[in-house]
Amino acid sequence: MLKETDIVIIGGGPGGLASAFSAGREKLRILIIERGEELGGILQQCIHPGFGLLYFKEELTGPEYAERWIKEVEKINNIEIWKKTMVLELYPDKKLIAVNDKGLWEIRPKAVILAMGCRERTHGNLAIPGTRPAGIFTAGTAQRLVNMEGYLPGEKILILGSGDIGLIMARRLKLEGAEVVGVVEKLSFPGGLTRNLVQCLEDFNIPLFLSHTVVEIKGRERLEGVYIAPVDSYGNPIISNKRFIQCDTLLLSVGLIPENELSEIAEIPIDNKTLGPFVDQFLMTEREGFFACGNVLLVNDLVDYVSFQGLIAGECAVKYIKGVIKRERKIPININGNLRLVVPQFISYPIILPEITFYFRVSEPKYNSVLHLKSGNKIIKTWKYPIVKPAEMIVLKINSSVFEETDNITFSMEEK
């Protein structure tokens, strides 16, 4: 069956909903394709508060945040929503092949917004030695089991990785009566937001083992425990110092991977630092007519950033269809010093937008850092930071006029 529309949005999470809201106000035909049974994505299982402080200026739970956006989207008549629909193929000419209970569809849009989100790294990604008993879950799977299905995955739980989902689940499981024996982190610094470290670990006296990792899993039918060991400065386990921790459940909170399999099928270039597409200030990828937002673009630490990106992607997809965006030339954004990644990775001219939002992550925690914006060797602007951490994204809005007369843009972060 054939379906023609103006904009297809793949993913009905916060990024997809915000982009639909933004584009839908321009009276174009919008189609949201969501593979799940409900809109809102991962937010539906995040029952803890802390969402919406930047966008809605109040503290909401994940389902409440999702509901706000769902209601806004449902008010717009020209937005069509297909749930329980899987995109099978995405072609460079923007054509999609999708399937649902009505059959197989060929969809032909004028623009595509990628909002597929991200997935968790699993046990298979880690290849930990030992047996493969029951009792090993990703933190997100455990979150869904507890919050949506009412099932406690274990009684004595160890968490590998100090990502935010793992920290939040440490608190959640403690509140449900489980014994959380600790959180093990391979790096010398935590991977989650400071507020989650304080509210989820320190407030509940849950130990954090930095510079340690799980080196062996023990158990036949059910997990009986794991061996953990310290790591050296190169990240290699010191096996001679390993020790056994008894537990019946191991949760993995070891990072998120943007869901870009469809992007790769469409031959959209991927940045090996963000694991998402290269984009310009319009959030348009290097393949024109394809836009990306949210965790498929880069893993965000706040859902409000996902929504802000969705708004930009939706607005700019409309501008692209109307012929307002014309990529006459582009220049790369260079980074050095303690900066690990930046989005957008290049600027397209003419710029059009009054300001450009940049997202950065650093490589290591540092005190008293300065971020320089340079044109060649000339420093244009400087920002000072008392502390920077890899887990906490740096977000800057910069007036576009700064970039109008330069062909060499570099962001550099250094210690004072």
The predicted-structure confidence for 256-292, as pLDDT tens digits, reads as follows: 999 999 999 999 999 999 999 999 999 999 999 999 9
Range of the structural domain that residue 67 is part of = 1-120+255-325
pLDDT over 70, % of the chain: 99
**393 in the same domain as 333:** yes
Last residue of a domain, one of 233, 254, 275: 254
Strands of the sheet containing 409-415, edge to edge, are 346-349, 329-337, 409-415, 366-375, 378-388
How many structural domains does the chain have?
Answer: 3
Nearest to 15 by CA among 389, 397, 317: 317
**12 in the same domain as 95:** yes
Q: How far apart are CA 89 and CA 98, in angstroms?
A: 7
**pLDDT for position 123:** 65
**66 in the same domain as 43:** yes
Q: How far apart are CA 362 and CA 386, in angstroms?
A: 14
**pLDDT for position 131:** 86
Check: CB of residue 14 under 8 Å from CB of residue 40. yes
User: Residue 280 half-sphere exposure, CB side, CA atoms within 13 Å?
Assistant: 28
Check: CB of residue 141 under 8 Å from CB of residue 166. no
Supply 335's token pair. Answer: 């980074």
**137 in the same domain as 150:** yes
**pLDDT for position 366:** 95
SS3 category, 98 = strand
SS3 category, 292 = strand
**pLDDT for position 16:** 98
Check: CB of residue 112 under 8 Å from CB of residue 291. yes
Which residues pair with residue 366 across a beta bridge?
Answer: 388
**371 in the same domain as 346:** yes
**375 in the same domain as 277:** no
**37 in the same domain as 3:** yes
CATH code, domain carrying 204: 3.50.50.60
**pLDDT for position 416:** 80
Q: In the chain, which stretches have pLDDT less than 50?
A: none
Q: How far apart are CA 82 and CA 31, in angstroms?
A: 7
Last residue of a domain, one of 195, 226, 254: 254
Nearest to 17 by CA among 71, 78, 97: 71
Residue 222: phi and psi, rounded to 5, are: -130, 150
**pLDDT for position 125:** 63
**248 in the same domain as 266:** no
Q: How far apart are CA 21 and CA 160, in angstroms?
A: 38
**202 in the same domain as 128:** yes
Spatial CB neighbours of 9, under 8 Å, sequence gap ≥ 6: 16, 19, 20, 23, 30, 31, 32, 33, 112, 113, 115, 314
**127 in the same domain as 216:** yes
Nearest to 138 by CA among 6, 253, 309: 253
**319 in the same domain as 246:** no
**163 in the same domain as 212:** yes
Give me the residue label for tokens 């700019």.
316
pTM: 0.94
Check: CB of residue 382 under 8 Å from CB of residue 373. yes
**pLDDT for position 124:** 65
Last residue of a domain, one of 295, 325, 355: 325
Residues in the chain: 416
